[in-house]
Structure formats: C-alpha cells, structure tokens
Amino acid sequence: MSQQSAAKVQTMDRALFAKLTGGLGDQATVGKLAAAFGQVYGEFLPDIIKSETGLDVSVAYAGCQSGLMNDLIAGLGGNCALVNGSLRNWAPNFVLGCGTGFIMTLMEHMLGALPETIEAPVPRPLSVIELDLAVMVFDKIANVLRSAVNASGGFEPYLDAPHNIENRPNPAGQTDEFAAAIAMTISLGKTVSEIIVVVPQQVLLRTVVSAPRAKNPSAASEAWTEQMSEQVRRSQVTLEARIRLQSLTLNTISRLAVGDVIPFMDTGDVRVEVSANSKDLYICEFGRSGENYTVRVKDNVNSDDELLRHLMN
C-alpha cells in the first residue's frame, strides 16, 4: 500500500473512531449548534460593546467549518489575532480569533478619532501595543461564550495573551482533535472583520447553548476608555535616538576606516530626536551619567493624546 493510501485509511479510521466516541458530529448537528452560538453573539456582543464604548457594532453568523483543530486554525489566513482559552467544567481548550481590522478600528475610535475620518485599515498583523489592548476585546468575546454555555460553577474563562496568527507556536507533538470553527462577521463603521470561535467537537456536541440573561446597560464608556489608555501607557515601547553628524563628501565617506571619528553637527548641546514606531516623540540633549550615555528631554513633539495615537500605529 502506498504512503498516500495508508494516510487516507488512517484518516478515515480516525474520523470513524471520533464519531463512535462522540468526538465528531454530523454536519447538521454541528451546524445547528454553531448557528445557535452565532445567534447569541449577534444579539449580545453588540449590546456589550455599545454599553461600554457607545459604538454601534453589528455581528452576524457567517458559517461553520469542521475539521482537525490545527488545520482549521491554519486555514484562517493572515491578519487575524488569536488567543488560547479554557473554561472550567466546559472546555479545557478552545481558540478565539478576531480580525485585526476590527481591533485597529476600535482603538482609533476609543482614542478619539472622528468617526467620519476613520477608513477601513489596511490588513496587517497587530503591533505589540495593539495586542496588549486586544486583551479587552477577547475578554468580551470570551464572556459571551461563557454566558452561552452550560458550564457549572460560574467560573471565568482563562485566556492566554493574544498573538498574531503567524506567531502561533508550532503544534508539533500536541494531540490534535476534531473541532468546529464558528465564524461571525463583526462590523464597525467601514470595517468588516471576523470573529472565530474554534471549539473541540467533543465539547461542542455536549453543549447546551442558551441566551445569557439580559443585564442593565452600564454607563461604562469612560471606564473602558480609561482602561484602554492605561493599557497603552503600561505597554513597553522601543525608543530610538537620532543624532545629526557633520556632513561629509562621498569621497571622504568612502575612505572611512576603523577608528576614524565623525563629529556631531552641534557644537554646543547636542540635539537628539527620540522616536518610537517611526514617530517623533521628544527633542532631547545628549549627555552622560556615570558609565551610561543618556538623553535629557527638552521638549515634546506632540500632545499626550497624539503620542498615544502615534504609538498605536
């Protein structure tokens, strides 16, 4: 038997075994459960975001795919942020995904950009700061999931730190299992992204999906904004310092050798321009403290709010 034929038989046997042991359901059953999740998200996630941010978001069920969990995640493509999660008494592992465009657009709104000026962002992986702030987005997605499933004990979901899909650890050596990828579109202004919930079918097939109990909307917009700003301020940012040197002719530059010295352009206090993410932040002066070279801040290039917006990009 060829290797390809042997692989097909092994896959068939695995799928059959999973069906016999409750780890793989038929398309109709899985689709019905996935649609129930989509209905809950469509009804409750927009209300949560509206009550806490004042923003109008729409969520709609977009379909379900069945297959091995690692294959489903790999098939999500780029420009998607993921988080690994677990919920006691329901699922020891599940994966949440969110299109990066939604997170970028939400942050622009929350940092004060005018809605009419916000265009759909060019798809790209999230920056370090955006991944920090995505924690709150995934927290809302996970809380709807917790409220919709029959997990006893009232435990909170546990979520790892978000990561871009291309930075997902290699699953080699881990046990793979059949899962369902439940997809929903989420729209904010001109941006349309996806939310994905990837759940092992062994868990999904024994889940009773029910609508969460309605809660009175809270005036939490200010708290959400403060929390986002605080998350930004706690994020680590790599700073770069630029010092202008005296101009030299190309002939001189081509002859520079080890040990040659190029003077600074400034003869008094040496001006240093400090930036992060290619955005100028401060004007500084060059100095030294003990054995360390330093820069002393002399002036801000932008206001605090402008700095936050710059660092988000």
Domain extent, residue 135, equals 3-234
Phi, psi of 266 (to 5 degrees): -80, 140
Within this chain, do residues 207 and 113 fall inside the same structural domain, yes or no?
yes
Token readout for 309 is: 């917006």
Q: Residue 177 maps to which CATH number?
A: 3.40.1550.10
Band of the pLDDT at 9, cuts 50, 70, 90?
very low
Report residue 298's pLDDT band, with 50, 70 and 90 as the boundaries.
confident
Assess whether pLDDT exceeds 60 at residue 216.
no
Residue 172: pLDDT over 60? no
pLDDT tens for 29-56 read 889 999 999 999 999 999 888 888 888 9
Statement to judge: residues 74 and 213 lie in one domain? yes
Domain count, the chain: 2
Query: pTM score, two decimals?
Result: 0.69
pLDDT grade for 306, boundaries at 50, 70 and 90:
low
78 and 160 inside one domain: yes
At 157-170, the pLDDT tens digits run: 999 999 999 888 77
- What's the average model confidence in pLDDT over 193-221? 77
Residues 137, 193: contact at Cβ < 8 Å? no
Same domain membership, residue 274 and residue 180: no
Rounded to an integer, the average pLDDT of 163-189 is: 84
Biggest CA–CA distance in the chain, Å, is 81
13 and 123, same domain (yes or no): yes
Point out the domain boundary residue: 234, 249, 272.
234
Mean pLDDT of 55-81: 90
Residue 56, Cα to own-chain centre: how many angstroms? 20
pLDDT of 6 > 50? The answer is no
Q: How confident is the model over 97-101, as a mean pLDDT?
A: 94
Residues 218 and 289 reside in one and the same domain: no
- In 3D, which of 146, 137, 223, 222 has the Cα closest to residue 188? 137
Predicted confidence band of residue 253 (pLDDT cuts 50, 70, 90): confident
Of 188, 210, 234, which residue constitutes the final position of a domain? 234
Residues with Cβ < 8 Å from 101, sequence gap 6 or more? 79, 120, 121, 123, 191, 192, 193
Considering the domain architecture, whether residues 223 and 261 belong to the same structural domain is answered as no
Residues 148 and 279 placed together within one structural domain of the fold: no
Task: Count CA within 13 A, CB hemisphere, residue 77.
Answer: 7
Q: Are 260 and 252 in contact (CB under 8 A)?
A: no
Same structural domain, 204 and 251: no
What pLDDT score does 217 carry?
A: 46
Token readout for 89 is 């008494």
Compute the distance between CA of residue 82 and CA of residue 72 in angstroms, rounded to an integer: 13
CATH number (domain holding residue 253): 2.30.330.10
DSSP 194-262: EEEEEEEHHHHTT----PPPP-PPP--HHHHHHHHHHHHHHS----EEEEPBPP--HHHHHT--TT---
Q: Which of 214, 234, 254 is the last residue of a domain?
A: 234
Predicted confidence at residue 299, as pLDDT, reads: 83
Instruction: Clarify whether residues 9 and 156 are in a common domain.
Output: yes
Mean per-residue pLDDT, 166-188: 82
Same domain, 103 and 57: yes
The answer to whether the CB of 66 falls within 8 A of the CB of 201 is yes
Please indicate, yes or no, whether residues 124 and 36 belong to a single structural domain of this protein: yes
DSSP H or E run through 281: strand 279-289
The pLDDT tens digits for 110-151 are 777 777 888 888 889 998 888 887 898 999 999 999 988 878
